[in-house]
Structure 1
Amino acid sequence: MRAWKRPEIPQLPGQSGAPWLHDTATAALIEARPNDIARLYVCGITPYDATHLGHAATYLAFDTLQRVWLDAGYRVHYAQNVTDVDDPLLERAAATGVDWVVLAESQVDLFRTDMEALGIIPPNDYVAVTDVIDEIADAVAQLWDAGLAYPVPVEPAAAGVAEPTEPAGSDIYFDIEAAQHATSWRLGDESNLDPEAMLTLFAERGGDPDRPGKRHVLDPLLWRSARPSEPSWDSRVGAGRPGWHIECSVIALKELGTDFTVQGGGSDLIFPHHDMSAGHAAALSGHPLAGVYSHTGMVAYQGEKMSKSLGNLVLVSKLRAAGTDPRAIRLALLDQHYRTDWEWTDAHLRDAESRLAAWTAAFGATGAAGTGNAGRVVDQLRAALAADLDTPAALAIVDAAATVGVDDPALVALAADALLGVAL
């Protein structure tokens, strides 16, 4: 699948070091130092209601990570999926009367446009789930053959079968207990949640703890057998479509291999998605999925977490259509630490526009030399970003430099572009 145009990223004199990131699995800072190539996987969108500021904040955080790696001299291999067939997408398509394929394609196009406008580095591998159905089905078959998956019969009524005596097939589930005996993976290793919290989140985030026939209430779906009026594909595990978590496991292993550097996404993916994805990957490969599990905070609006279900979305496309400079949107998001939960208000955008004007005056083409040392500003910027991507501290450093001026304004402008993605 086509991604979007890569922004020009200037090279600064000197070099930073590998960043330290907060790891959800250990609740500690870990140096995200690649052995050779920095390998990054960030979970992509389910294509409807794109692109809201929660999306943008997540992809901007991992764009910043890539910029730090690049500044440290590492090559980066970045993969991202598109969940272009899933229950929420199908439900939205049905509710709006739009074909699900058309809805997905239009929203992916909008997402590409927004990402390019914001100057987000695109993935090297941008992979639609519908393009890897065969690989996912093969992975499910591998888990089945290893005794790590099992069938759960579908009730005829649930399958839309008119005649109750007609067989309705079976869904395939991942056997958590068997996987824990067969691999080093343990449920909860990535999320650090107790069983009660896991059960609550599993039910809230697409799980089915009360499904009759499951061996463990938290066993996740690997393959949903074909239902009338739903998309399905023929495969070696029967006609149907993939479950959610196995999709990312297969795409990540296919594009990045095992033990890649960072698995990223929003904090709402910690459990069950990333925990289960790690379990599937360990069962398929015998290796851990990633070295660091990094998660961004949630963005609220009007007192509630910004979400598709609530409809309280602030869309990047609508801000741009109203004439907002994408650089200001970027600065507004960078002013919040990537791991914090926060609430968007119009004041964030006004502050960002004022900051952009001040930086442009100080370091743009007409910026005058001042008393500050530009080289020291660059060093401070690098140090702030290497310390768990502390973008608020980085913005404050440039603010201070803009107040007093520097001996080489062009160098600070270069750093703002290379490290923060804000061209002046």
Structure 2
Amino acid sequence: MSLRIFNTLTRAVSEFSPAEPGHVRMYVCGMTVYDLCHLGHARSMIAFDVVQRWLKASGLRVTYVRNITDIDDKIIKRALDNGETIRHLTDRMIDALHEDADALGVQRPQHEPRATDYVPQMLSMIGTLEQKGLAYRAGNGDVNYAVRKFPGYGKLSGKSLDELNAGERVAVNTEEGGKHDPLDFVLWKSAKASEPGDAKWDSAFGSGRPGWHIECSAMACELLGQTFDIHGGGADLQFPHHENEIAQSEGANGQPFAHFWMHNGFINVDNEKMSKSLGNFFTIRDVLKVFDAETVRFFVVRSHYRSPLNYSDVHLNDAKGALKRLYTALQAVPPADVTIDWTEPMAARFKAAMDEDFGTPEAVAVLFELASEVNRSGSAERAGLLKALGGVLGLLQTDPTTFLQSGAGLDEADIQAQIQARADAKKAQNFAEADRIRNDLLARGIVLKDSAAGTTWEAAQ
């Protein structure tokens, strides 16, 4: 079975093959770096990390670009509020982004362009759009895109121009000397006297800075070509951001922009989208103070990337318990080093799941079946396959004992001393004392496990 992907542009699952045989070019919209990343950002990073991992596991070469927006109204305001330069703020936030992504097992993209490094390319594209009559200079100094002059506008969102509502970053009212139409969007923002010098660039359109949408069009075309294979991002970017990218890129180049458009679902809190603007977000760092990073990754991966995902401590605790079951199998049967044979029945089922629009829920189900098989058979080879397939999803690569004992909150030496004291009590037939020690440890988050080989422990769920 070949890979099939749900394409937002066609609203259907279609067979995927890269334009250049054996080489996938993929662009994913990244973060606006004015604050720490939240769990919604983590979902997008993990979702497309799994995508690029599976493409590579399928034998394809991947050129993966994920941009960084490092100039924006919110960035300028935050830098001014903090009394720091824009560059100092964005450098700090990019470092934090990398720390969070690394903790979650998200592999770095091949290219991570910063918007401020591609302003000349943006200006060149704006100039082309103006020459083609798709952009105009407004009386207030801005340069805007004339949406109604691009015949294909609305094809990604599937709505007519009259049905479309201006999005979060698109002004809904025309201003005197500004937009000709409420749906028009800014390509170049005229500099304001109150803005700091590091928020302005000189150009043929006057001093100013790029609009939000133009950066992705310019960077994607520069790094991947005028047409590439996959464009991804969160579902909230479908309109207006991605719709505007299509209008800009195809309007300037006369070529299809991306063949496949992929959008990951939201993370919700009480069925409402998690976002900074709504104030109901949890930063990745906040969550990692309570739950280990692999549990957070597993929480995301075991749901399909397009489905909504509800966040709660209950769901994270459930994910922790489920992941512990997989690690318990690997602890009991040390895995052998294996190379995945994709014709082997379990591996073939895993592959079929992933080839059907990156079906991670079904792929994770295969991992649990393998874990049950490992527990029954004690086979090191089956344990090795479990670990190898988990690795395709960025899971199960930690030492099992280390994972199972993580978050215990007690020193290893203290725990072992209590285990020995319990053993001594049992030997003296003081079973009341042995039970007291077990219950005391359990109350402190330590679960003892007795077997013929002795007593081991793990952190409680």
Mapping of residues 59-208 of structure 1, within 5 Å = 59-154=45-140, 170-180=141-151, 186-195=152-161, 197-199=163-165, 202=166, 204-208=167-171
1:368 to 1:414, Cα distance in 2 relative to 1, 3 A: closer
**1:33 aligned onto 2:2:** no
SS in 2 for 1:189: coil
Amino acid at match of 1:45: M
TM-score of the superposed pair, with normalisation by structure 1: 0.85
SS in 1 for 2:129: helix
Q: CA deviation at 1:387?
A: 0.9
1:417 to 1:294, Cα distance in 2 relative to 1, 3 A: same
**1:228 aligned onto 2:228:** no
Cα separation, 2, equivalents of 1:135 and 1:400: 51
SS in 1 for 2:348: helix
SS in 1 for 2:94: helix
SS in 1 for 2:67: strand
* Counterpart contact for 1:210–1:217, Cα < 8 Å: yes
* Counterpart contact for 2:231–2:261, Cα < 8 Å: yes
Range with bigger deviation, 399-408 or 68-77: 399-408
Q: CA deviation at 1:349?
A: 1.5
Counterpart of 1:257? 225
Cα separation, 2, equivalents of 1:289 and 1:59: 22
Aligned match of 2:240 in 239, 263, 272?
A: 272
Bigger relative CO (Cα 8 Å, ≥ 6 apart): 1
Q: If you compute each CA radius of gyration, which structure gives the higher value, 1 or 2?
A: 2
Cα separation, 1, equivalents of 2:205 and 2:162: 33
* Counterpart contact for 1:49–1:308, Cα < 8 Å: no
* Counterpart contact for 2:26–2:64, Cα < 8 Å: yes
Aligned match of 2:181 in 212, 216, 219?
A: 216
Range with bigger deviation, 73-82 or 211-220: 211-220
Q: Deviations over 1:84-117 (max 9, x none)?
A: 1111222333455554333222111111111111
1:142 to 1:133, Cα distance in 2 relative to 1, 3 A: same
SS in 2 for 1:211: coil
**Gap runs ≥5 in structure 1:** 1-16, 155-169, 181-185
1:117 to 1:368, Cα distance in 2 relative to 1, 3 A: closer
Q: Deviations over 1:179-202 (max 9, x none)?
A: 33xxxxx01111112445521xx2
Q: Provide the identity percentage.
A: 33
1:316 to 1:18, Cα distance in 2 relative to 1, 3 A: farther
Counterpart of 2:302? 335
SS in 1 for 2:102: helix
Mapping of residues 307-318 of structure 1, within 5 Å = 307-318=275-286
Counterpart of 1:4? none
Amino acid at match of 1:236: A
Aligned match of 2:252 in 284, 305, 325?
A: 284
Counterpart of 1:166? none
Counterpart of 2:409? none
* Counterpart contact for 2:37–2:284, Cα < 8 Å: yes
Cα separation, 1, equivalents of 2:335 and 2:390: 17
1:290 to 1:148, Cα distance in 2 relative to 1, 3 A: same
Q: Which runs of 4+ in 1 moved over 6 A?
A: none
Q: CA deviation at 1:148?
A: 1.8
Cα separation, 2, equivalents of 1:346 and 1:18: 37
Cα separation, 1, equivalents of 2:274 and 2:159: 23
Q: CA deviation at 1:360?
A: 1.4
Q: Deviations over 1:32-87 (max 9, x none)?
A: 32133101000010013332111111111111111111111110001111111111
**1:385 aligned onto 2:346:** no
Q: CA deviation at 1:350?
A: 1.0
Mapping of residues 391-402 of structure 1, within 5 Å = 391-402=360-371
Cα separation, 2, equivalents of 1:194 and 1:176: 12
Cα separation, 1, equivalents of 2:231 and 2:94: 22
Amino acid at match of 1:198: L
* Counterpart contact for 1:249–1:280, Cα < 8 Å: yes
1:26 to 1:409, Cα distance in 2 relative to 1, 3 A: same
Aligned match of 1:346 in 299, 310, 313?
A: 313
Q: CA deviation at 1:225?
A: 0.9
* Counterpart contact for 1:53–1:315, Cα < 8 Å: yes
1:386 to 1:364, Cα distance in 2 relative to 1, 3 A: farther
Range with bigger deviation, 204-213 or 334-343: 204-213
SS in 1 for 2:156: coil
* Counterpart contact for 1:140–1:237, Cα < 8 Å: no
Amino acid at match of 1:174: Y
Amino acid at match of 1:384: A
**Gap runs ≥5 in structure 2:** 399-461
Amino acid at match of 1:225: S
Counterpart of 1:157? none
Counterpart of 2:413? none
Range with bigger deviation, 297-306 or 343-352: 297-306
Cα separation, 2, equivalents of 1:207 and 1:246: 13
SS in 2 for 1:125: coil
* Counterpart contact for 1:79–1:125, Cα < 8 Å: yes
Q: Deviations over 1:343-390 (max 9, x none)?
A: 201122112211222111213573489xxx993222111111111111
Cα separation, 2, equivalents of 1:195 and 1:237: 28
Aligned match of 1:319 in 284, 287, 309?
A: 287
Aligned match of 2:43 in 52, 57, 61?
A: 57
Amino acid at match of 2:235: S
Aligned match of 1:415 in 385, 389, 398?
A: 389
* Counterpart contact for 1:18–1:68, Cα < 8 Å: no
Cα separation, 2, equivalents of 1:267 and 1:83: 18
